[in-house]
Amino acid sequence: MPIHDQSYRHWEGELKSHSFRWWVIAYEGLKVILRRKLFIILILTPAIIQFFVFGGLIYGFNTFGAMANINQITPDFFFRFCFQQTFFILLICVFGGSGIIANDLKSNALQLYFSKPLTRSDYIIGKVATILVMLECITAIPCILLFIEYAVLSQDLTFLRENYWLIGSIIAYSLVLNLPITFLTLALSSITKSYRYSAIILVGIVLGTTVISKLFQIIFRGADWANFIMYWYNINVIGKGLFGMKDEFSEWQWSLAIMLVLTIVCFLIMFRKIKGVEIVK
């Protein structure tokens, strides 16, 4: 046939299995977010730089040993690395995550998503994964790399033998650090159509709880319970518990409970808001 048919052709290809559909959503979502150069420069780069700073410290400790004024590398070191990233975690959630569902609501994309063979769970897991992948890349993954770096450079196995549980702790702590704020960001992103409002409310909650907690402490003169309102405090406490530090150990159950409740509430909000059908009464 000399003249080829340029028009529509039928497609007889094979469809991939359903199980990794959420990854398609996460991957494309990440591509859209990472396309913004300003985001990469202002937020991701400093986060990565932290990694190199800490990495350098480990190297320095090993090379110069006790001669330098560098403290011992204890589990606390890794804990502090993760905790140091909280500022960037917040920034990523505010600038990268606040529009994740809000933009879909605004551009009516949900009717497109749910006219394809896609379940609500696929969508939610995909969105969670979009943010979680970014956050894990600046917390758990660098932290484990640091751990490996130290283990490799220390040239003896004592550290490894004593602290192998640290890897578990790092992963658990990074999840504690990242999951609640991921769900919080997604819940806020799903209740409004404007990514700006969702970003503002997120910042408001995270900073505001700190402010209110301190206020309560002043008003009620050193009431310890006020600390639980503060978001970062809770994370801190759980972290210390996970890394085996003994002070305030008894309180970590409370903090865990609070964080769990927060996560579940956010998940429920998000689940309800994502509907393929909009009903106006």
Partner 1 sequence: MGQTEYKRSKIPLDPPLVKGEFGFPPKKERNLIISFNNVSILYGDVVALDNLSLNIEGGAIGLLGPNGAGKTTFIKTVLGLITPKNGSAEVFGMDVVPHKMDIRRLIGYVPENDCYITGMSGVNFVAYMGKLCGMPSKEAIQRAHEILQYIGMDEERYRNIETYSAGMKQRVKLAQALMHDPQLLLLDEPTTGMDPKGRQEMLDLIKDISSSKNINIILSSHLLPDIEYTCQDVIVLREGKLVIKGNIEELKSTHRKMFEVRIKGDSEVFLSELKSINVEFWESERSFFRISCPDGINTQSLFKIAMDNGIQIRQLVQTRYSLEDVFTKVIEG
C-alpha span between 120 and 18 (Å, rounded): 13
Footprint of partner 1 on 45-104 (CB under 8 A): 99, 103-104
Out of 118, 170, 229, 242, the residue judged to bind partner 1 by CB under 8 A: 118
Residue 264: strand, helix, or coil: helix
Minimum Å gap between C-beta 4 and partner 1 is 12
Say how many C-beta atoms besides its own lie within 10 A of residue 163's C-beta. 18
- 116 binds partner 1 per the rule CB under 8 A: yes
For the record, the structure tokens of 202 come out as: 């997120």
CB-facing half-sphere around the CA of 81: CA atoms within 13 A: 32
For the record, the structure tokens of 143 come out as: 């932290």
Footprint of partner 1 on 262-281 (CB under 8 A): 276-277, 279, 281
- 196 binds partner 1 per the rule CB under 8 A: no
Sign of torsion over alpha carbons 265, 268, 272, 274: positive
- 24 binds partner 1 per the rule CB under 8 A: yes
Contact 170, 143 (CB under 8 A): yes
Collect all residues with Cβ–Cβ distance below 8 Å to 112 and sequence separation of at least 6: none
- 4 binds partner 1 per the rule CB under 8 A: no
Minimum Å gap between C-beta 8 and partner 1 is 5
Distance of CA 109 to the CA centre of its chain: 24
For the record, the structure tokens of 35 come out as: 């396309």
Minimum Å gap between C-beta 121 and partner 1 is 12
Cβ proximity to partner 1, 108 vs 250, nearer residue: 108
Cβ proximity to partner 1, 106 vs 272, nearer residue: 106
Helix (H) or strand (E) holding 237: helix 231-242
Closest CA to 177 of 94, 218, 223, 236: 236
Out of 16, 161, 221, 246, the residue judged to bind partner 1 by CB under 8 A: 16
Q: DSSP character for 3?
A: S
Cβ proximity to partner 1, 67 vs 279, nearer residue: 279
Cβ proximity to partner 1, 9 vs 37, nearer residue: 9
- 159 binds partner 1 per the rule CB under 8 A: no
Contact segment (CB under 8 A) with partner 1 among 4-12, 51-59, 184-192, 209-217 equals 4-12
- 3 binds partner 1 per the rule CB under 8 A: no
Contact 126, 100 (CB under 8 A): no
Contact segment (CB under 8 A) with partner 1 among 9-17, 59-67, 184-192, 202-210 equals 9-17
Question: Where on the chain is the footprint of partner 1 (CB under 8 A)?
Answer: 6-18, 21, 24-25, 28, 32, 35, 99, 103-104, 106-109, 111-119, 276-277, 279, 281
